[in-house]
Amino acid sequence: MRGPHNIWRLVRTGATFERTGAMGAVLEAMDAPRSIRIAARVLGWPFKWLGLRGNPATPPVPRALTALGPAYIKFGQILSTRPDVVGAEMALQLQVLQDKLPPFPRAEALRVIAHEMERPVETLFSEVSEPVAAASIAQVHRARLAHDGREVAVKILRPGIERAFRKDIDAFYLIAWVVETLSPASRRLRPRDVIAHFEGVVTQELDLRIEASACGEFHANTKDDAGFVVPQVEWFLSSRRMMTLEWVEGITLSDGGAIDGNGFDRKALAARVLQMFLRHALRDGFFHADMHHGNLKVAPNGDIVALDFGIMGRLDVYTRRVYAEILMGFIRKDYRRVAEVHFEAGYVPADRDIDEFAQALRSVGEPIFGMDASRISMARLLAYLFEVTERFGMETRTELILLQRTMVVVEGVARSLDPEINIWTVARPVVEDYIRENVGPKAAVRDLLATARVLARFGPRLPALAERALLAQANPPRAEPRNPWPERLGYGAAGLLLGVAAAALVLLL
């Protein structure tokens, strides 16, 4: 579908951005070259009257994206996680995007349920409410299970949303092609790769089985976390176009009046939100990447309830250790160690000067630690850190950018509850616990044992490998040069297995 027939969408987009005043803001934020600015004006100004007006009460860029519809809203939300593409200031503006849209009729929702479950709705639910929340991709209904009377939340995709998104994504690819064609310099930002990333995210969100799976994994990881709740998935009532979760009552964290009125401790809630995020990122490597006020509630018993699992983040074991050591190094003001961690991880090219890098890191940390508690910001630290590492040649790492963006949101939620919160004091015990368990002798033993287990899988094959190696040495082929690698592989694997096992035993004893 990508081709000239998308030109109308391209013109409509440019006209809307021009009419809402978003065009100049976007071009400025991305430091667009002259060719792009001219093309944008050509596509926008003459056709300004064709553009959508949007809500004048909202900032220009969110106003334009909201007016253009669900795909543009979702695209803006994804770009808010990519300050490396749109810049820190624009990413911050995009975080205010709300995808609250008019709901579709309840009757249509009932039709989807019957079609997806292949059963009459009344045999599944004794009650299904009118929509209680409606977003760009789906809406939520409150329902009651027919067989046991439990209350559940049923999330249902909007009718025709897949086709609508497909059309707009095609237009995005055309826009990316135009940008790359008119401005070769823009290719360093890889516009088409950004669209491909967006397409992948949306494709997952359009299959509610993926979100249900994420919710199930997150619930399993956090079921023993005191004061934090993830609803359980009702798997027998979930499919590609609908997802059913247990219903959880609560007050959204943005409702400060209700929180105070019910006697909840704001300071305790703020600390718990921040610590839980760090614990999930470090301990599990799987964290909620959209923890804004609307996705967090306070249950009647004071537990924090997480909702909406469409955007989740992952960190591998090694990245978690690096991230923890970087945070701990800043907490302890050990800038040399922070620099060493970056070099050890390969984040900064080995030909750079480590002492100069440590000095640059000090320029990041010291001003922040000199602030009073109410102004100390881990999110600001990470933003400054990325600026410094970029100057020293560190390549963009998407998982760390998503982590930083989520940290900004979580910190904002925490400060809205407790403006005087000391981020470092709250974060320190979580980071120290992780480092104690994962960056020390215990971790070394676990790593050795894990390596031994992997090598042990090849144990039954080691005698045959060694025998073939010995036979190859005793009877080398005459027609071709002898290949030493089977011999080396056999002896090397056996030696490595024995060495790892011995080291693990020594450490354990």
Looking at the 3D structure of the chain, how many domains does it have?
4
HSE value, Cβ hemisphere, 13 Å, CA-based, for 406: 24
Do 400 and 460 belong together in one domain?
no
What CATH number is given to the structural domain containing 151?
3.30.200.20
**Domain membership flag for residue 426:** yes
User: Which of 228, 247, 266 is a domain's end point?
Assistant: 247
**Domain membership flag for residue 424:** yes
Do 456 and 416 belong together in one domain?
no
Closest CA to 403 of 85, 99, 96, 83: 83
How far is Cα 244 from Cα 152, in angstroms, rounded to an integer?
7
Q: What is the pLDDT of residues 271-294, one digit of tens each?
A: 999 999 999 999 999 999 888 888
Mean pLDDT score of the chain: 80
**Domain membership flag for residue 238:** yes
**Domain membership flag for residue 469:** yes
Do 230 and 378 belong together in one domain?
no
Contact 195, 172 (CB under 8 A): yes
**Domain membership flag for residue 365:** yes
**Domain membership flag for residue 400:** yes
Do 305 and 415 belong together in one domain?
yes
Given this model, what pLDDT does residue 186 score? Answer: 62
Q: Terminus-to-terminus CA distance in the chain, angstroms?
A: 65
**Domain membership flag for residue 186:** no
Do 326 and 211 belong together in one domain?
no
pLDDT at residue 39 greater than cutoff 80: no
Contact 291, 371 (CB under 8 A): no
DSSP annotation string for 476-502: --SSS----HHHHHHHHHHHHHHHHHH
Do 287 and 423 belong together in one domain?
yes
Do 399 and 329 belong together in one domain?
yes
Do 138 and 56 belong together in one domain?
no
Query: Cα separations (Å) of 460 from 455, 470, 472?
Result: 10, 17, 20
User: Which of 404, 439, 474 is a domain's end point?
Assistant: 439
Q: What is the dihedral of CA 278, 194, 339, 421, to 10 degrees?
A: -30
Residues belonging to the active site: 290
Q: Which residues, in sequence order, are CB contacts of 253 under 8 Å at separation 6+? A: 259, 269, 273, 293, 296, 297, 298, 304, 413, 416, 417
Do 280 and 359 belong together in one domain?
yes
Q: What is the pLDDT of residues 365-399, one digit of tens each?
A: 787 666 665 666 666 666 677 777 777 877 666 66
pLDDT higher at 322 or 183: 322
Indicate the pLDDT class of residue 196, thresholds 50, 70 and 90. Answer: confident
pLDDT at residue 152 greater than cutoff 70: yes
The region of weakest confidence among 141-145, 157-161, 304-308 is 157-161
Segments forming the whole domain that contains residue 482: 442-508
Do 177 and 48 belong together in one domain?
yes
Do 77 and 144 belong together in one domain?
no
Do 110 and 237 belong together in one domain?
yes
User: Which of 396, 412, 439 is a domain's end point?
Assistant: 439
User: Once rounded to an integer, what is the mean pLDDT over residues 76-94?
Assistant: 71
Q: Which helix H or strand E contains 151, and what residues bound it?
A: strand 151-157
Place of tokens 């803001």: 25
